[in-house]
Amino acid sequence: MDNSSSSSYTPPRVWSGIKDNGGRFASINRPTAGPTHDKELPVGRHPLQLYSLGTPNGVKVTVMLEELLAAGHTGAEYDAWLIRIQDGDQFGSGFVSVNPNSKIPALVDRSGPTPVRVFESGAILMYLAEKFGAFLPLDGPKRAECLSWLFWQMGSAPFLGGGFGHFYAYAPTKIEYAIDRYAMEVKRQLDVLDRRLAESPYLAGDEYTVADMAV
């Protein structure tokens, strides 16, 4: 069946921008990157500075930091700064210099002579795991399995949040095709997870790792 024939919308040959669509993300959506205003980021007294928010992507890093602290890694002490994405904090100049992609979470490691910025939750989890030698196996095959599941999560999550969640909950119009497509894909991904966890206690094998934290 040709679904496009039932649509009242004809895409333009050259896309030139959206009108205010009243959607929940109307104040966030824009087709360009870079800062919209000057605003420095606060810096606290701990070695690690976390700029984040309690969203599923944000909490991955907080879970990792808390697990490191619970395991006795005192170097993982951090200051957590709230980035209010609905208010556009992610487009401030200070935040953009830490994450040019304007998304939380972002981390600055100030424990060495030069601050190190890290963005993308998966990259932050790996960076911390390598820095502290924890929650990421060193052994080749186990490490490969762990990274495979970690990157599976990174690649899959946009279908859940940006795809299913967006069209099901946030889009100002309900589009059956989009909801069906993403619901199906999210169900399939959850089945991948169910099958893996039926054969293994943790995603990467017998140890709890950053892959489990990400998921």
Ligand X SMILES: N[C@@H](CCC(=O)N[C@@H](CS)C(=O)NCC(=O)O)C(=O)O
Q: Which residue has the tokens 């002579």?
A: 113
| Cα-based distances in Å from 170 to 158, 163, 184 | 14, 10, 18
Residue numbers 89-118 binding ligand X by CB under 6 A: 90, 102-105
Q: Which is nearer to ligand X, 26 or 197 (CB)?
A: 26
Position 213 contacts ligand X (CB under 6 A): no
Q: Least distance in Å: CB of 74 to ligand X?
A: 26
Tokens 């992610």 sit at which residue? 90
Size of the site for ligand X (CB under 6 A): 14
- CB closer to ligand X out of 76 and 157: 157
For ligand X, the binding residues in 117-136 under the rule CB under 6 A are 120-122
Euclidean distance between CA atoms 133 and 92, whole angstroms: 33
How many other C-beta atoms lie within 10 A of the C-beta of residue 58?
22
36 binds ligand X (CB under 6 A): no
Q: Answer yes or no whether residue 85 interacts with ligand X by CB under 6 A.
A: yes
x-or-dash string of contact with ligand X, 135-154, rule CB under 6 A: -------------------x
Beta-bridge mates of residue 119: 106
Task: Please give the C-alpha separations between residue 130 and each of 86, 122, 136, 152, in angstroms, as whole numbers.
Answer: 32, 12, 7, 19
Binding site for ligand X (CB under 6 A): 28, 55, 57-58, 85, 90, 102-105, 120-122, 154
